[in-house]
Structure 1
């Protein structure tokens, strides 16, 4: 029996999965209350241990990721699974002391005249639950854990069952760096995920599909557990008439093919003037061939994560062909035995096709023509709000037209995906693409904190007593002063 299978079997052999999970939560909550609110040094130490884990285990992380995916370049794994963790840790360590300081605000009249103090103190919530998907389990788990640690919390992480080797590595290795009362890793399949979502966490964060998120949110609601949802959706690319098509195609292809398209903010479909489609397609083909030259084949190209998702790519294309869309496949030497899927461009699929109704989440880029920019804006607004939105063009007025008339989790102009890499920008969705932000700036610290309002009475302690009965001339004077614009 494999290590992960043994781990899952031992856990699921518990008489009651919910009881076993509740025991872990109770341990963390009890430890949190006994230790009290952690100071700066404790929080920084936990962040540092996250860094130690990924640096010391980087080779094992690469091996586990390749085992889960069949094929993924080692350099790419380190770039997207380890580097973001290190960069996020550096940002937290640099700013955490400032984030933890009380935020002073001015008391309202007349308390500001008699020495009263008002301020906001961000305090930890307690125990944070984190549920991570298969397309980047390690980075998503550790970034969320570091955000929760920065706020002073304990963390329980449920790792996707579709990343068994990575999940096993985390479950077996993280206990060398963290006591289970600080950070606990939970393995298991659907029944464990369901029980995990039903735990009375102080906050629950879920990354994954919108469909599953509805069940997660419903389960959390029964405990009044606040949630952060990082989902996805069909992230559009607006290409203006004055855009540099060669540059635009290169950036769109780069974003679409990173991780073989399995990224939540990857460009999903391109909207551009109909007369420019042929030129864009030509540039896109050239970019794909340049990225994956014939002498290297698909060596630098990731696999599709699971057999089910691999078959789904075929279904999406078959449906598009049946509905009359033009499908262009660029052969880069993808090896189907490794679940590699050749990049495809699909021109003008109909609105009712699977490609236009579902997030692609694979190496297929949709290209649709428009007659004018307002038509493109209206098309995007008729659908669900995306996690990311991209604009290519030189005209600032057109850029602002798109930004002002649409709504998305984030935006990049003349680039794709790079807003996620900016350490001071919060990351999150809106509407169908998510709820709440974390990762950048102090967003994660605040997301997993309670902003506690504190009032301290000043030297004149009877000032609030002016509102006490019996009412007479004093309150009449106060009301006269206040009842005006």
Structure 2
């Protein structure tokens, strides 16, 4: 069904995607979507593409409203940056999914086993919509993460309910007010409210629940979902390390690391968290990093292009992390970028060789503090990474093929970028997801989201000779004995 920006398509009950708060009945909203799904269990390609197109219509039409709401929540964030991270990725993802969706909807042929394959039998997989998908998004990118997840869920043929973080009240209000112009509540609805609403949302019997945020909260979300045996996708974070080879271009490595660390003032799930390098490289790297910060954010621009810290509590936490690192004996290098307390901006800081038990080494920093730590060699760096929780991203700067293969083989992370940072997330054909402490399940890139929100239904169709399976029926005799002898053989070693 086609819709324009000023006329919403008719849906079950003809309801609008109202702002659902603590006093409203989440169960009734869920029931509405469940009813709508029951009436359209396998949406057509045209219907799926139309819903994806309307998401693009929304972010393009409402781009200034998205910017205004984001600035209101954050106090300060450059408009161009907001559009680059909250709007453009949604459009790019929608285009990539729309282009490839027709091929994903085709049955995936598999080979039927002997002897059925000789007798006309067919085996294939059909990707079936799950039903109603719940999506919980964090405060550091609520619009993009909500819309990208909705695109993936729509591509798979589902209905979607999205809970926006209570720390993004302006963005939540904007989404709740404007999305009903594009979507019926039976297709896509926005849920707002405080922690109590989030708990109730996670407890709904969704057909799949996706949560993006902290590992601590993820435990509660997963426990709530378990009561309904709801499968979950968790996109978390962790301390994403940067390993710098002794022969790497230190100036380039420092510039790219700093660029990634300070984007959104370090408030991103895959931003570089700490750097591991050999002691002889330390001072050159620090000098290059300091210079890169000044070039990216000249003090005379007074923090114009430098994002604020999202909340007062998070701003205070940055000071606490720094105080703790200083107390542990670490060297602290602060770079002036014209940051102001009125904008809740926190100046970039390089922390050198803090103690392993300091907070900056134990917690995900999620701010504009970059830790640089020395190790004996690359193998020691790999051991250091493996001793901690598995990160969402890992970065390597260097050109030695053996070192690169060592790192890829011996470390675990959600994704890797080599001689760059964060661009693994921007590749439209690469899935995005964590491993272990940094999450479970992938979406976003390629067909990962389509498959994440689908059920791979196995289908067998009997061929023209319908008596073949009956050979295994009792009473057992010589025919079954022959089949067993044919099948019970060891796998020969490969030459």
Same fold (TM over 0.5): yes
Distance of 1:481 and 1:371 partners within structure 2:
57
2:64 is equivalent to residue 54 of structure 1: no
2:371 is equivalent to residue 361 of structure 1: no
- Residue in structure 1 matching 2:156, options 123, 129, 151: 151
1:175 alignment counterpart: 180
2:23 alignment counterpart: 13
1:236 alignment counterpart: 241
Contact 2:207-2:231 within 8 A present in 1 as well: yes
Q: For each residue in 1:49-97, what CA deviation from the matched residue of structure 2 results, as whole angstroms up to 9, or x when unmatched?
A: 0000000000110000000000000000000000000000010111000
2:256 is equivalent to residue 251 of structure 1: yes
Offset at residue 11 of structure 1 (A):
2.7
Distance of 2:83 and 2:23 partners within structure 1:
35
Written as runs of structure 1 = structure 2, the 5 A alignment for 1:338-357 is 338-357=343-362
Distance of 2:60 and 2:389 partners within structure 1:
39
Please tell me the root mean square deviation across aligned C-alpha atoms, in Å: 1.0
Contact 2:299-2:336 within 8 A present in 1 as well: no
Q: For each residue in 1:155-214, what CA deviation from the matched residue of structure 2 results, as whole angstroms up to 9, or x when unmatched?
A: 000000100000000001101100000001000110000010011000000000001001
1:290 alignment counterpart: 295
Bigger mean CA offset, 285-294 vs 133-142: 285-294
Contact 2:119-2:463 within 8 A present in 1 as well: yes
Written as runs of structure 1 = structure 2, the 5 A alignment for 1:324-335 is 324-335=329-340
Contact 2:163-2:190 within 8 A present in 1 as well: yes
1:300 alignment counterpart: 305
Offset at residue 371 of structure 1 (A):
1.2
- Residue in structure 2 matching 1:93, options 98, 101, 104: 98
1:160 alignment counterpart: 165
2:463 is equivalent to residue 453 of structure 1: no
1:41 alignment counterpart: 46
Q: Alignment partner of 1:391: what SS? A: strand
- Residue in structure 2 matching 1:425, options 419, 427, 430: 430
TM-score normalized by the length of structure 2: 0.94
Contact 2:236-2:438 within 8 A present in 1 as well: yes
Written as runs of structure 1 = structure 2, the 5 A alignment for 1:265-414 is 265-414=270-419
Distance of 2:215 and 2:23 partners within structure 1:
30
TM-score normalized by the length of structure 1: 0.96
Distance of 1:301 and 1:36 partners within structure 2:
47
Contact 2:77-2:306 within 8 A present in 1 as well: yes
Q: For each residue in 1:114-172, what CA deviation from the matched residue of structure 2 results, as whole angstroms up to 9, or x when unmatched?
A: 10111000010000000000000000000000000000000000000100000000001
Distance of 1:301 and 1:240 partners within structure 2:
29
Q: For each residue in 1:319-356, what CA deviation from the matched residue of structure 2 results, as whole angstroms up to 9, or x when unmatched?
A: 01111111111111101111100000000000110100
2:487 is equivalent to residue 482 of structure 1: yes
Contact 2:298-2:338 within 8 A present in 1 as well: no
Contact 2:394-2:413 within 8 A present in 1 as well: yes
Q: Alignment partner of 1:337: what SS? A: coil
2:137 is equivalent to residue 127 of structure 1: no
Distance of 1:41 and 1:322 partners within structure 2:
61
Q: For each residue in 1:340-399, what CA deviation from the matched residue of structure 2 results, as whole angstroms up to 9, or x when unmatched?
A: 000000000001101000000000000001111111111111100000000001211111
Contact 2:67-2:83 within 8 A present in 1 as well: yes
1:4 alignment counterpart: none
Where structure 1 has 5 or more consecutive residues not aligned to the other structure, the ranges are 1-6, 15-19
1:469 alignment counterpart: 474
In the comparison of the two structures, how many residue pairs are matched? 473
2:4 alignment counterpart: none
Q: Alignment partner of 2:396: what SS? A: strand
Would you identify which runs of 4 or more consecutive aligned residues in structure 1 move more than 4 Å? none
1:17 alignment counterpart: none
Offset at residue 13 of structure 1 (A):
2.7
2:35 is equivalent to residue 26 of structure 1: no
Q: Alignment partner of 2:183: what SS? A: coil
Bigger mean CA offset, 67-76 vs 20-29: 20-29
Contact 2:41-2:131 within 8 A present in 1 as well: no
Written as runs of structure 1 = structure 2, the 5 A alignment for 1:68-79 is 68-79=73-84
Q: Alignment partner of 2:260: what SS? A: helix
Q: Alignment partner of 2:314: what SS? A: helix
